[in-house]
Amino acid sequence: MLKKLLVLSVLSCVIFSFPSKALAQTISNFLNSSFNHLESAIIAEFLNDNFQVNYSLIKPVLIAEKNNQPSPKVIEAIKQDLAKRFDIPLNQIKVKDTIRQTWSDGCLGLAKPDEFCTQALVEGWKIIVSNQQQTWVYRTDNSGSNVRLVTQ
């Protein structure tokens, strides 16, 4: 943990010395894939005690989901993807189950042929949705920026 805090300290100094959204996103992705929620809570406290944090740049990273549920942004990304793929009205898509997962790579374990995936653990969700007639399984990262439909 001390090693991770040291890495985080260096990254935080970079964020606050050279604040840019691209840099913050890169660091956010690193933090999302490197720390679990307990560690994130400890890190948030560490940052508050040691830095003037610009949370507008890194806010999605350090705030654990309340009640251990995916954020509304994650659910919305899945519903949008499903509606677009199968022409299903958004109001007919219901979440049946959400399961926290750690995926083996940046492709969430679902690499397409000839697709290169980052080789880092990715915290995210397995989310099961339905329209009462059919059920689909999705894999996502914590932010909902990477959403993949599991195909049989």
Q: Give residue 58's pLDDT.
A: 46
Mapping DSSP to helix (H, G, I), strand (E, B) and coil, where does residue 50 land? helix
H or E, element range at 94 = strand 94-103
User: To the nearest whole number, what is the mean pLDDT of the chain?
Assistant: 75
Task: Give tens-digit pLDDT for 25-83.
Answer: 555 555 555 555 555 555 555 555 555 555 444 444 444 444 588 999 999 999 999 99
Q: Give residue 82's pLDDT.
A: 95
Q: Which residues pair with 129 in a beta bridge?
A: 95, 136
Q: Where are the domains of the chain?
A: 2-64, 68-149
Share of the chain above pLDDT 90, in %: 49
- Token reading at 15: 């964020």
Q: Give residue 66's pLDDT.
A: 47
Q: Which residues pair with 139 in a beta bridge?
A: 126, 148
Task: Give tens-digit pLDDT for 98-115.
Answer: 999 999 999 999 998 999
135-141/122-130 β-pairing: antiparallel
Residue 8: pLDDT band with limits 50, 70, 90? low
pTM, whole model, 2 decimals? Answer: 0.57
Distance CA 146, CA 118 (A): 12
- Token reading at 123: 């915290």
Share of the chain above pLDDT 70, in %: 55
What b-and-e string marks burial along 103-142, b requiring 16 or more CB atoms within 10 Å of the CB? bebbbbebeeeeeebeeeebbbbbbbbebeeeebbbbbbb
- Token reading at 114: 């000839």
Residue 1: pLDDT band with limits 50, 70, 90? very low
